[in-house]
Amino acid sequence: MKIFFLKVAACLTIMGFLLSACSPSFPSVESMYVSPYALESTDFPALSPDGASLTLSDFTNIDLQSGTESRPFDAYIPADWHRAYHQIQWSPEQTQFAVEASTSDSGLSLDNPVFVIDTKSQQLSELSGIREIYQWSPFGKRLLGKPKQTFFWQVYDLDQQSFIPLPFEGVNPAKEKNVKGAGMFLWNGKLNIPIAEISQINPVNFSGVIAPQEVGVNLLLGNKNGEIESDFSSYVKKFVSSPPDNIVDAKFDPTGEFILVVQWKCSQSDIKQCSLYPSKEYFGNITDTALILIRWHTGEQKELIRLSQIDTQSVIANYAEWSADGSTIFISRKDALPIVLKVK
């Protein structure tokens, strides 16, 4: 009997080793720098897929390492677009970007035209039936957007210039090999649709009370109208943050293997809770920001870095973006220049 259990233990050890060997290793920081470009509160930057630059809502391009500003699109972007806010999303190949083009200086129109700009041919193409964009598929050819006259996200096919439905029953991400992450969504390459999303419970203490926070994953479904719905019954908790710490941001990495959690580390001795709750914002007890990686299939965790390892004075992160090619994490900071991490 003792020999039997030893054999079982050995087999489990070998299986565990093989599984871990087949899984991608945790990303690590290769180098880092503070970008000299100071973001304004009115800036809405789109990180380039190669992680080298930001494109602002007025089509100014910012080289992250040097801070140099340029305007490479002025020759073929309408001049009146420079006077209004625009939502910009780069294609993963960095050959096109989609623009939700505000038609008023206030940018408050609810029916903005959407264009795709090809940076090689320098051509603009207006898309039909779509008025708002959120994200370009990491597999290309599709966008998350909203049809005119509705308020629900759907998948828009650029070739068909129409919205396409998601499967009613959803797709189990645990069984899919060809996946990629983009922001809060996990995309399936075979179908080119989002199949799962990150769900945050009580993000950044928005409830206004001191309470634990959670980051989890739930499946996405399609309804009869083609709209994307969250299957909250499938929710699985992946990470818990206990007070007084707070979760600022959570996103999939580009491989879809990991979730990046940006967490404020807050002083245990301060009776107040660090918070972004409207009218109750409090940053006085934040001692650091940790970037934490979770292999969401298994729950394994690893702390990637803390901002205090880069700059001991400005340790409050606003959010993080991960470039589509996986090379770069961009970190916006409160009242400080942004940080750029090169990862491998």
Q: Is the pLDDT of residue 4 over 50?
A: no
Tens-digit pLDDT profile for residues 182-191: 999 999 999 9
- DSSP annotation of 67 reads -
Question: In this structure, what are the phi and psi dihedrals at residue 195, rounded to the nearest 5 degrees?
Answer: -115, -15
Q: What is the pLDDT of residue 253?
A: 98
In a domain, 302, yes or no: yes
Q: Tell me the C-alpha distance between 340 and 66, whole Å.
A: 12
What is the enclosing helix (H) or strand (E) of 17? helix 2-22
In a domain, 102, yes or no: no
Q: Tell me the C-alpha distance between 213 and 274, whole Å.
A: 13
In a domain, 152, yes or no: no
Three-state DSSP class for residue 43: coil
Q: Tell me the C-alpha distance between 161 and 138, whole Å.
A: 18
In a domain, 323, yes or no: yes
- If one compares 235 and 6, the residue with the highest pLDDT of the two is 235
Do residues 240 and 209 make contact, with C-beta atoms less than 8 angstroms apart? no
In a domain, 14, yes or no: no
In a domain, 168, yes or no: no
Domain range for 343 is: 25-41+179-344
Do residues 146 and 153 make contact, with C-beta atoms less than 8 angstroms apart? yes
Q: What is the pLDDT of residue 216?
A: 97
Q: Is the pLDDT of residue 12 over 70?
A: no
In a domain, 134, yes or no: no
- DSSP annotation of 109 reads -
Tens-digit pLDDT profile for residues 15-29: 344 444 457 799 999
Please state whether beta strands 300-306 and 96-101 pair in parallel, antiparallel, or not at all (unpaired): unpaired
Q: Is the pLDDT of residue 275 over 90?
A: no
In a domain, 141, yes or no: no
Least confident piece of the model among 43-52, 160-169, 193-202, 244-253: 160-169
- If one compares 35 and 16, the residue with the highest pLDDT of the two is 35
Task: Look at the pTM and tell me if it is higher than 0.75.
Answer: yes
277 confidence band (pLDDT: 50, 70, 90): confident
Q: Which of 314, 344, 315, 319 is nearest to 331 (CA)?
A: 319
Q: What is the pLDDT of residue 44?
A: 74
Rounded mean pLDDT of the chain? 87
- If one compares 40 and 122, the residue with the highest pLDDT of the two is 122
Cis peptide before 27 (omega within 30 of 0): no
Q: Is 150 exposed, middle or buried (0-12, 13-18, 19+ CB in 10 A)?
A: middle
Q: Tell me the C-alpha distance between 154 and 18, whole Å.
A: 39
The residue assigned the tokens 């996990």 is: 186
Looking at the structure of the chain, the number of domains it has is 1
Q: What percent of the chain has pLDDT over 90?
A: 66
